[in-house]
Chains A and B, each alone.
Chain A
Amino acid sequence: NAGVTQTPKFQVLKTGQSMTLQCAQDMNHNSMYWYRQDPGMGLRLIYYSASEGTTDKGEVPNGYNVSRLNKREFSLRLESAAPSQTSVYFCASVRGVSYNEQFFGPGTRLTVL
């Protein structure tokens, strides 16, 4: 199993450009998450999907949209990137709310100029 995969690994955008970060998991997990991590800080939750067909806002959702494409895939879209969105983005998944271990992907390092 590949676990949680994320693409791309690195991305540089100009202010105002749009892009979609892709996340996929092959563990048949029900719940998926998007976090961002700024330098020297812990992770902050952007959006999550408790199950296929549902999405909910986390702590810092402004400037982002998400799509739970199917059970495997959960994408994060920046419609108009801003320098404040420069960060490392992590996707995670967990089997369900009664399970304890979130599995994280390797991250996407995004720079917005």
Chain B
Amino acid sequence: DAKTTQPPSMDCAEGRAANLPCNHSTISGNEYVYWYRQIHSQGPQYIIHGLKNNETNEMASLIITEDRKSSTLILPHATLRDTAVYYCIVRVAGDYKLSFGAGTTVTVRA
């Protein structure tokens, strides 16, 4: 069974914030939430990760609900170059493996 559930696709207007949801209702206490993205035909790129606190870096913000059953990746000012497939991944601390689902295809429109 998939550990995360994401909408298959979403559109976003250039310059606006993009809010990407992810459900992970069976997450365990020692599992982190990771976000990667894959721009067409390229290898995936790490964006951000978190355990229970909200996180922000130069690329995005990650908001995790208090019960940790869902999270939202926020791209504050989407650009055309943010068009990509975004993967939400749950990973146990100390586990070498990442398990990628189908992700959300985000299309940023001018």
A residues at B contact (CB < 8 Å): 4, 31, 33, 35, 40-45, 48, 50, 56, 58-59, 90, 92, 97-98, 100-107
Task: Name B's interface SS.
Answer: loop
Q: Is B43 an interface residue, CB under 8 A from the partner?
A: yes
A33 CB to nearest chain B CB (Å): 8
Report yes or no: B43 in contact with A90, Cβ–Cβ below 8 A.
Answer: yes
B residues at A contact (CB < 8 Å): 32, 34, 36, 41-46, 49, 87, 94-103
Which residues of A lie under 8 Å from residue B98 when comparing CB positions? 43, 45, 102
Q: A85 to B5, alpha carbons, bound, how many Å?
A: 27
> Which B residue's beta carbon lies closest to that of A4?
B43
Which residues of A lie under 8 Å from residue B103 when comparing CB positions? 42
Q: A2 to B97, alpha carbons, bound, how many Å?
A: 24
Report yes or no: A41 in contact with B102, Cβ–Cβ below 8 A.
Answer: yes
Which residues of B lie under 8 Å from residue A40 when comparing CB positions? 102
